[in-house]
Amino acid sequence: MNKLLESYMAYLKGQKAMSEHTCKSYYTDLISFEDFISSKYGVSLKHPEDILPDHIKGFLKNLHMHGLKKTSISRKLSSLRSFFRFLEKKHKIKKNPIMGVPNPKIGRHNPRVLSVDQIIKFLSQKTDNSPKELRDKAILELLYGSGLRIGEALSLDIDHIDLSQNTIKVMGKGNKERIVPLTEKSKQAIIKYLEQRGAFNPAPREKALFLGIRGKRLNRRQAIRIIEHTLKQAGIHFHISPHTLRHSFATHMLEGGADLRTVQKLLGHSRLSTTQRYTHITLGKITQIYDMAHPRANTKKK
């Protein structure tokens, strides 16, 4: 990795406070771009002033030809935009080659959510009260109960939990801190887990709330396996990501009558427009109820 990329990675982790997972994605995208432009055009990120808009367009065209989804192409383009903005700030380039390169048009789609019945089934799996299963139960209750991002949940320390106030202190994107309520189910699950946390043999100074089998902070891959295992137990035969529980939290809050601004604050969204996408789902639910209840809503009714 050249010095510019090293400096950029340090910038993302330090000033931008991006997670290790996000930084790794950005790095992978830049290496992919480097490999393409060096072999196709004979230019390199080591000399960014040589890179032209046509090089970037060629890279995007190549991704499209290889069948990459528009959402993935858009993400790679965002990685490049961020990198070239960084180079501008550092005065490493006089002209940004990515200016004028449009994002691929992506059709709006609603995020997948679990129904309330599916959530109840998902979170009601019996446990054998082993330390591992108590930990898993606490994580899942927290992801849905407080609408946390998986990275936020895994980065929690023990002292971020205030059981007396039923709240947790969450460090969100960009190092933005917010206080989020704990549901009673989440609180009880955390209390039971904390009673058995020592079984993971953490080091004396280990602050992480959720621990892996080696007594250190649980990682993202292990958390995803927990969700996949619980899905299988609950008999839910389709894939969901950790973010699906967050989507479900937001949707169920709005369907339950919460206002958009409150949900925005709970989720830690900086823009209301990001939260508004959940209104598309809830409007569909409202329309369905309206069609069932109103005598003149459906002309096919007799």
For residue range 224-280, list pLDDT tens digits in order.
999 999 988 888 888 888 888 988 998 888 888 888 888 888 888 877 776 666 666
What local confidence, expressed as pLDDT, does residue 15 receive? Answer: 80
CATH number at residue 143: 1.10.443.10
**163/152 Cα distance (integer angstroms):** 18
Residue 110 lies in a domain: no
176: annotated active-site residue = no
What local confidence, expressed as pLDDT, does residue 301 receive? Answer: 45
In 3D, which of 191, 189, 151 has the Cα closest to residue 170? 151
Q: Are residues 85 and 127 in the same domain?
A: no
Domain that holds residue 11: 3-89
Q: Are 211 and 202 in contact (CB under 8 A)?
A: yes
8: annotated active-site residue = no
Residue 141 lies in a domain: yes
Q: Are residues 68 and 131 in the same domain?
A: no
Residue 259 lies in a domain: no
Residue 228 lies in a domain: yes
Q: Are residues 50 and 128 in the same domain?
A: no
Q: Are residues 169 and 121 in the same domain?
A: yes
Q: Are residues 21 and 78 in the same domain?
A: yes
Marked catalytic residue, from 70, 121, 160, 173: 173
Return the structure tokens found at 39: 């072999």
Marked catalytic residue, from 26, 144, 193, 278: 278
Residue 202 lies in a domain: yes
CATH number at residue 29: 1.10.150.130
Marked catalytic residue, from 149, 187, 217, 252: 149
Number of structural domains, the chain?
Answer: 2
Marked catalytic residue, from 243, 261, 285, 294: 243
75: annotated active-site residue = no
Marked catalytic residue, from 135, 246, 247, 252: 246
Marked catalytic residue, from 81, 121, 269, 277: 269
Sign of CA dihedral 273, 275, 278, 283: negative
Q: Given 223, 247, 271, which residue is the final one in a domain?
A: 247
What local confidence, expressed as pLDDT, does residue 294 receive? Answer: 55
278: annotated active-site residue = yes
Q: Given 231, 247, 263, which residue is the final one in a domain?
A: 247
Residue 125 lies in a domain: yes
Q: Identify the DSSP state of 205.
A: T
**4/16 Cα distance (integer angstroms):** 16
Q: Are residues 171 and 84 in the same domain?
A: no
Q: Are residues 189 and 233 in the same domain?
A: yes
In 3D, which of 285, 247, 284, 286 has the Cα closest to residue 269? 247
Q: Are 181 and 141 in contact (CB under 8 A)?
A: no
Q: Are residues 121 and 194 in the same domain?
A: yes
What local confidence, expressed as pLDDT, does residue 138 receive? Answer: 95
Q: Which spans in 112-165 are helix H?
A: 116-123, 131-146, 150-154
Q: Are residues 75 and 130 in the same domain?
A: no
Q: Given 35, 70, 89, which residue is the final one in a domain?
A: 89
Residue 283 lies in a domain: no
Instruction: Find all residues with CB under 8 Å of 4, minimum gap 6, and list them.
Output: 45, 46, 48, 87, 92
Dihedral, CA atoms, 122, 181, 184, 249, nearest 10 degrees?
-20
220: annotated active-site residue = no
Return the structure tokens found at 205: 């100074």
Regions in the chain scoring below 70 on pLDDT: 1, 106-111, 274-302
252: annotated active-site residue = no
What local confidence, expressed as pLDDT, does residue 277 receive? Answer: 67
